[in-house]
Amino acid sequence: MNPIIEALNLSFRYSGEERWAIKSINLKIYPGEFVLITGPSGCGKTTLCRCFNGLIPHFYEGELKGILTVDGLNIAENKTCKLAQRVGMVFQNPENQLIMLSVEDEIAFGLENLNLPRDIIRERVDEVLSILGIEHLRHKFPYELSGGEQQKVAIAACLAMRPKILVLDEPTAHLDPLSSKVLFDTLSSIRKRLNLTIILVEHRLDMVASITDKVIVMDKGQIILQGRPREVFTNPIIKAIGIGVPKLILLYEDLLLNNLKLDFPPLNIDEAELLLRKLLSR
Q: For residue 238, what are the contacts with CB-CB under 8 A and spacing of at least 6?
A: 217, 225, 232, 245
* 117-146: contacts with another protein (CB under 8 A): 117-118, 121-122, 125, 142-143, 146
Which CB, 8 or 163, lies closer to another protein?
A: 163
Which CB, 28 or 127, lies closer to another protein?
A: 127
Residue 209: left if φ>0, alpha if ψ -120 to 50, beta else—which one? alpha
Q: How far apart are CA 23 and CA 13, in angstroms?
A: 9
> Pairing state of beta strands 22-29 and 73-74?
unpaired
* 96-115: contacts with another protein (CB under 8 A): 96-102, 104-105, 108-115
Q: Does 57 bind another protein (CB under 8 A)?
A: no
* 193-232: contacts with another protein (CB under 8 A): 203, 206
Residue 259: left if φ>0, alpha if ψ -120 to 50, beta else—which one? left
Write the binding mask 142 to 181 for another protein: x where contact by CB under 8 A, - elsewhere. Answer: xx--xx------x--xx--x--------x--xxxxxxx-x
Q: Does 91 bind another protein (CB under 8 A)?
A: yes
* Interface pick for another protein out of 72, 133, 227, 242 (rule CB under 8 A): 242
How many residues line the site for another protein (CB under 8 A)? 78
Q: How far apart are CA 149 and CA 80, in angstroms?
A: 26
